[in-house]
Every structure is written in C-alpha cells, then in structure tokens.
Amino acid sequence: MSGELPLLVENLTFRYQARPEPAIQDVSFALRPGEIVLVAGASGCGKTTLIRCINGLIPRTYRGELQGRILVYGRDARAMSMAELSQQVGTLLQDPERQIVGSFVLNEVAFGLENLGLPRSEILRRVDEALAYLGISHLRDRETFYLSGGEKQKVALAGLLAMRPRILLLDEPLASLDPASAQEALALFRRLADEGISILLVEHRVEDALSIRPDRVLFLQDGRVAYEGPPEGMTEAVDYRQVKLPAPLVLQRAADAPPPIFEPAIRPNGREPLVVFEDVTFAYDEEGPPVIRNVNLTIRRGDIVAVLGPNGAGKTTLVKHAIGLLKPRRGRVLVEGRDTRELSVAQVAHTVGYVFQSPSHMLFAPTVREELAFGPKNLGFSPQEIAAGVAHAVEVVNLKGLEDYPPLALSFGQQKRVSIAAILAMRSRILAMDEPTAGQDYWNYMAFMDSILQMPGFAAVLFITHDLDLAICYANRVILMAEGEIVADGPPEVVLADLDRLRQCRIVPTSLLRLNLEHLPQTGRFLRAEALAHAVAKGVSSSFNQK
C-alpha cells in the first residue's frame, strides 16, 4: 500500500545539531491522493522541521540526527536526489523573502523550470499558465524587490505550480496575505486538492483553514503528535487559549473560566503629537505611480493604532516614513516636531523602534542574547541597562532558554519574537510593528501583545496587520488604507462597523467581529472573545473594562 501513497512518514525523529533536544519525535502519518492535512500547533512545536524532513532540506542542508523514514510514492526520500524530490514535492516557505531569488517575476517563476532544462517555449507557457491560474499575470514583468509581502507569496507559489508537483507542502501560506487573498488562496488549495494534488497545510490561522474542510488535522505539541483525526475532534481536543478557534466556540468554553484581566499602560490624552504626516506622497520610482499619496496623519500619545488594508495598499511604505527609512517625494514627516529629512535613521530610532515584516531583514548575530544587545549598545546604553533590557525583552516575548541559540536556527515564529524583543530592548518611545503575529501561535501572540501594551514607557504603539481580530482585541484606533490612501481613521467600533467598506478593502469580517457588533449596544466597545464570553454570560456591568 505504501507504493500507492503520495507520502508516508514513519517514526520520524530529528534533532538539530545546534540544539540539545529533538525538534520532532516519533511522528507518523500518511498523506493520500487529493487529501488536505492541516498541521497545527504552537510556534516551535516542530511543524517546519517536519516539512524540511519531507522536502529533503533535512539532512542535506540542516544537519543533525535523523531517525525513521519518509516514503514519497513508495521511494525512500533520502535515496532520491533533490532534483527528483523537487519534481514530486513543492514547498512554499513561511517567509517568501527566503524563497525568491529572481530579480523579475518572470525569472523567478521560470527558475525551477530552467534548472530542469526544459525548452524555452515550454518554460514560458508554464510560467504564463501559473501566473494566470493565480490571477497575477499583471505582475509578470515587475521587479520582485518592489512587490508587497503578499504579492511575493503568490509569486513563490506560481514558481511551485509551474513545476507541477504532486505533493504541496505549504508552510504558513496565509501569513503575508490580506484576508480576501487568504480566502482566495485557501479556495485555490481546495481546487488543487480536488484536482488530485496532495497537500500538507501548516497554518496558525486555524479558523480560516477549517473553512476549506481539511480531511484531517495533525496537531503537534512539543514535537510529538498530540492529536490526529477529523477537524471536529481537534476543536474539542485542543485548548482554546492555545489555538485560535471560531469565536462562538470560545464563547461556549470561556464563560466558566476566570475572566481575562488586561489593562494597557498606554493612556490616550488626545493632545501630544508624536509623528505627523503632512500631505505626504511617495513613489519608489521617479516615473512610477505613487505608492502612498496625499497622506495627512497624526499619531498622538496614547494611540494604539492598527493599520489595515489589502496587499500593496502602501501600509509598510507609510510606516517606513515614520521611522525615516523613506523620505517623502512631496510633503513632510515630523517625528517629535523634527523633519525626518534632517534626522538619521539612528536618531529616529531613539523615538520609533521598527519590527520588520521579515525577520531575515533584521537578524544576523550569532546568539539571541547578542542580537538583543546590539541595538541598545549602539544607542549608548550602559552594560547594566543593556542586561536589564535584554532580560526583560526575553521574558515579554517568551524566549527564556533560547538566549544562547543562533537566531536563524530558530523557527520562523521564534525568529519573529526575537526581532520584536530586539526593539523592546532599545526602549524606543513608539513601537511600530509590521505583521507582528505572522508565524505566531495564538497563545504566544496574545501573551506578548498583552505584555507589550502593559509595559510602562511606550507613548504609542502602531502595528500593521492582516489579522482583523488583533485590531479588535488591542487597537483604540484603526487606520484603513487602500490604493495608497487613508480611506478611514477612527475608533475600531466605528471603522470596523462598515462591513461593505471592509470588503472593498479586501478585509473579511470574522466571527469575532460579528459577535462584537451584535453585542456592541450592551458592551459599548470591542472585546476579545474570552472577555466577551463573560460579558454575554453575566450581563455587562459599567465597571467592565477588559479588552
């Protein structure tokens, strides 16, 4: 029977050379033709390691001790060359920055086909077919450097589909996509499975992934299989505080648990301007179209701002102006009253700390501890201040025990937390984060967002996100962007109540948003699911103030 199965994993255990404990242990499962298996679990539980074992990166690229076996259509994966494996198994990485090698989209999608030595006419035909299949033919001649994170993810997937693999390994494929694009991607995965491709889908956005009815769920915990079975059983077997489940399920379970206590340290005063945009327009190419245009915006003390909008709307470009990485073509940006054209990036960093969308843009030091100390050292902090700041940042983002590990040997989710901790250790007055929850399990991202917003010292926090529920749980202000312009700016209860405008901006209303809108006349504000459960169960009291 094993010869008929696309994939069979038996008693798989792997320990990285740089780590003392196994990343995965005794993992066994099968993947059948046209089947979607959802792999879920906390950040660092072994999901990406499992994919590396299947696609051959372990043991060829990542060294360590490997036990057990993997059969691809009945053949031992370790006996197959990477060229043979790549024609059967396609992998979409968590971080598209680490997958894209071509300067232009056409070259990128053609890269794998060129390595197979296919004729030029066949390569071009397959490239155009893959781009059209994904609805991104308009990107064919674009430079990959200027693509948004979501666009890069789609281009990387096009490169895989052009190779026509029979097995797809998708590692957090929704992490960089806006909600509408995520739904389109999930529908595409279902279509590919219905056409016979076998799919292993690693995803933290469990609620979204469940919408395409995966055949089975594999839930990993500390490197082991804690649950394997139908999706309905998974929602009963896992802790709702660890995995993001649909809000109605959380309301059922959380009413009897202790209520969450959360009170941000940041207090809005509505007066002191920290960052001011005055008629800002910017284009990356002098002759190209503006990426943001006519932006007027003031970030004030006490603001907790969520920036929402579709891929390519200009969100990251906007925030890069606030930290001085980009300078306006027209208009100006003031940070604490000073024009960013007159400030170096290092000077702005004293006020605004920025966490990049891709950890690989930030991480370089040999250990986590040295990574976190680098920024404070360059800002002139004393050794005592540096040590205290590093220790506090490690605690806030749950990196205890990983201080002496190489950052780039960690999982993507752990790398993301290292990049956030590196900025926390610098103690900037304003914290700006680009997709802070990408690659994060629900428990970790709720825990570190709670910790960050309860930390004294921040005057304001700004985060770009495709996670609508993150804005619901934490923001006191929502900025909605589309086509380089701000189309809405105000309290979440106002901006997020316009469902038609959300859909126009490719934002899909979630079950948590719908429940909050339903109960808003009683609560008067948006609440996280656990807090909403208590509000609904007990009736809303005037003293109820948990987010």
Are both 30 and 161 inside the same structural domain?
Answer: yes
**For the chain, how many residues are written?**
547
Structural domain of 404: 359-426
Estimate to the nearest angstrom the gap between the alpha carbon of 310 and the chain centroid: 14
Please say which residue of 215, 238, 261 terminates a domain: 238
Q: φ and ψ at 302, to 5 degrees?
A: 95, -5
The number of domains in the chain is: 2
In a domain, 262, yes or no: no
DSSP of 161-209, one letter per residue? HHH--SEEEEESTTTTS-HHHHHHHHHHHHHHHHTT-EEEEE-S-HHHH
Are both 228 and 377 inside the same structural domain?
Answer: no
Q: How far apart are CA 52 and CA 75, in angstroms?
A: 17
Q: How far apart are CA 130 and CA 140, in angstroms?
A: 11
Contact between residue 516 and residue 492 where contact means Cβ atoms under 8 Å apart: no
**235, 274, 250, 219: which is closest to 42 by C-alpha?**
219
**6, 49, 71, 36: which is closest to 217 by C-alpha?**
36
In a domain, 80, yes or no: yes
Q: Is beta strand 167-171 parallel, antiparallel or unpaired with respect to 89-92?
A: parallel
Q: Is 346 helix (H, G, I), strand (E, B) or coil?
A: helix
Please say which residue of 426, 460, 481 terminates a domain: 426
Rg of the chain on CA atoms, in Å: 23
Running along the chain, 547 residues long, what does each successive block of 10 average in pLDDT? 79 90 95 95 88 93 93 93 89 80 92 90 94 90 84 88 92 84 87 93 89 93 93 84 86 82 77 93 87 96 94 91 93 95 88 83 89 89 92 88 88 82 86 84 84 83 94 96 96 96 93 95 91 79 41
Give residues with Cβ within 8 angstroms of 475, minimum separation 6. Answer: 304, 305, 306, 463, 492
The whole-model pTM stands at 0.81
Predicted local distance difference test score (pLDDT) of residue 312 = 83
Q: How far apart are CA 254 and CA 473, in angstroms?
A: 16
In a domain, 213, yes or no: yes
Contact between residue 311 and residue 281 where contact means Cβ atoms under 8 Å apart: no
In a domain, 520, yes or no: no
In a domain, 204, yes or no: yes
Q: Is 292 helix (H, G, I), strand (E, B) or coil?
A: strand
Q: Is 541 helix (H, G, I), strand (E, B) or coil?
A: coil
Beta bridge mates, 224: 221
- Residue-wise over 59-96: b if at least 16 C-beta within 10 A, else e? eeebeeebebebbbbeeebeebeeeebbbbbbbbbbbb
What are the C-alpha distances in Å from 322 to residues 52, 157, 253, 524, 525?
Answer: 38, 32, 41, 32, 29
In a domain, 166, yes or no: yes
In a domain, 351, yes or no: no
In a domain, 201, yes or no: yes
Give the CATH number of the domain where residue 101 resides: 3.40.50.300
Please say which residue of 191, 220, 238 terminates a domain: 238
